Amino acid sequence: MADIRRTLTLRDVSEASGVSEMTVSRVLRNSGDVSPATRAKVLAAAKTLGYVPNKIAGALASQRVNLVGVVVPSLSNMVFPEVLGAISSVLEDTGLQPVFGVTGYTPEKEERVVYEMLSWRPSGLILAGLEHDEAVRAMLASAGIPVVEIMDTDGPVIDSAVGISHTRAGRMMAEAIIAAGYRRIGFLGTRMTNDHRARKRFEGFSAALAEAGIAIEDQESYEGGSALAKGREMTAAILGRSPELDFLYYSNDMIGAGGLLYCLEQGIDIPGRMGLAGFNDVELLDGLPMRLATMDACRAEIGRQAAEIVAAKHPAGFIGGEVVTLTPRLQRGDTIR
């Protein structure tokens, strides 16, 4: 005879323990009053059988799902795992469970991921960025759950948002650079088609420079590959073309670190002859020969507050959204004089 595998149900536990399904359910959820005696019986039966409750049925019956969707563009970026960590640790003691989705920076995939997540009727959704297709905005707006957009606050918000102004972050860096006396400035970054936050930093950066009468003299951009290696290559390329530059602003710390290593190898005097800065304040910078100037993107704090907003809101009856704008902090490091 074939071993017909059926997964266990409440009914099995009920029969094994001689207690009604309803009471078994109560025991397993610690809900309502159950006498210690029956409680023990039920627990014993469930354990011996190896019963694992079916949350699908539970969720359908109770109309409650303890899931929070978290949608980010990438996991290889090093910055998102940190945000996810902060979200997880806050949700840990709320009974909510994060479920991650990755969009690969493409709007089409974002739409699919959001649709998929909403079809599981999560208690809330956290997603990176403010730029979404109309279809996504519509789904989210009518989902009837808290939606928190994270990382960025420069733009219209669907419900709630926690982040920094990347435009402002770019401006701040420009101001620090100008104040330090650098004047011939190069920019190195990703091709920014879908990295809106990098684009906003660039815009803020160049606007602030322009106000001081300074133009960005040269630029390099890359796509894919090892960011550290790309940082080296791009730096070699831009300095080959424009040796007069006295400052290089990188759109992230990894390429900045690559650039820093390159400059040090070339014997370029940092921060005297040339200054360097990145963005994100990644942990890696601690181990480099020299501390790269950067700006803290408040990643952990963003994750924490986003999770708190989702956890605090009640499934029904919430209305307004809050927008929390954190202030990025400049870390001068050793590469701005």
Partner DNA sequence: GTGAAAGCGCTAACAT
Partner DNA sequence: ATGTTAGCGCTTTCAC
Could you list the residues that contact a second copy (CB under 8 A)? 2, 5, 7, 50, 52-57, 59-60, 65, 75-76, 78, 81-82, 84-85, 88, 97, 99-100, 102, 115-116, 118-121, 138-139, 142-144, 225-232, 257-258, 261, 265, 283-284, 286-289, 316-317
User: Whose Cβ is closer to DNA: residue 37's or residue 319's?
Assistant: 37
* Burial class of residue 102 in the structure, from the number of CB atoms within 10 Å of its CB (0-12 exposed, 13-18 middle, 19+ buried): middle
Q: What residue 37 binds from a second copy, DNA, none (CB within 5 to 8 A, per partner kind)?
A: DNA
Q: Does 25 bind DNA (CB under 7 A)?
A: yes
- Binding partner of 76, given a second copy, DNA, none, CB within 5-8 angstroms per partner class: a second copy
Determine the interface stretch with DNA among 18-26, 95-103, 274-282, 322-330 (rule: CB under 7 A). 18-26
**DSSP-H helix ranges across the chain:** 10-17, 21-29, 36-49, 55-62, 79-92, 107-118, 134-141, 166-179, 196-211, 227-241, 253-265, 299-312
Question: Residue 20 or residue 266: which is nearer to DNA going by CB?
Answer: 20
As a whole number of angstroms, the distance between CA 212 and CA 83 comes to: 35
In this complex, which beta carbon is closest to DNA, that of residue 11 or of residue 47? 11
Nearer to DNA, 54 or 106 (CB): 54
The backbone torsions φ and ψ at residue 193, rounded to the nearest 5 degrees and listed phi first, read -50, -45
Cα separations in angstroms, 18 against 14, 54, 58: 6, 20, 22
Please give the C-alpha separations between residue 337 and each of 273, 316, 317, in angstroms, as whole numbers: 9, 54, 53
Q: Can residue 64 be called a binding residue for DNA (CB under 7 A)?
A: yes
Characterize the bridge pairing of strands 329-331 and 294-296.
Answer: antiparallel
Integer-rounded Cα radius of gyration of the chain: 26
Distance between CA atoms of residues 334 and 258, nearest Å: 15
68 DSSP β-pair partners? 98, 124
Give the residue with the Cβ less far from DNA, 56 or 179: 56
Looking at beta carbons only, is 103 or 165 nearer to a second copy? 103
Q: Tell me if 185 sits within 8 A of 217, measured CB to CB.
A: yes
Binding site partner of 115, from a second copy, DNA, none, Cβ cut-off 5-8 A by kind: a second copy
Does residue 30 touch DNA according to CB under 7 A? no
What CA–CA distances, in Å, run from 14 to 4, 8, 24, 58, 88? 20, 11, 6, 16, 34
9 binds, among DNA, a second copy, none (CB under 5 to 8 A by kind): DNA
CB contact at 8 A, 222 and 190: yes
> Could you say which of DNA, a second copy, none residue 20 binds, taking C-beta under 5 to 8 angstroms by partner kind?
DNA
Question: With binding defined as CB under 7 A, does residue 313 bind DNA?
Answer: no
Site string for DNA, 34-53 (x = CB under 7 A): xx-xxx-------------x
Answer whether 285's CB lies under 8 Å from 270's CB.
no
Least distance between a second copy and beta carbon 240 (Å): 18
Token code pair at residue 132: 């979404």
Q: Which of 15, 28, 99, 218 touches DNA by CB under 7 A?
A: 28
Nearer residue to DNA within complex by CB, 32 or 289? 32
Q: How far is the CB of 156 from a second copy (least distance, A)?
A: 19
Separation of alpha carbons 149 and 128, rounded Å: 6
Q: Which is nearer to DNA, 122 or 303 (CB)?
A: 122
Phi and psi at 198, nearest 5°, equal -60, -40
Residue 244: name its binding partner from DNA, a second copy, none (Cβ under 5 to 8 Å by kind). none
List residues binding DNA (CB under 7 A): 6-11, 19-23, 25-26, 28-29, 31-35, 37-39, 53-54, 57-58, 60-64
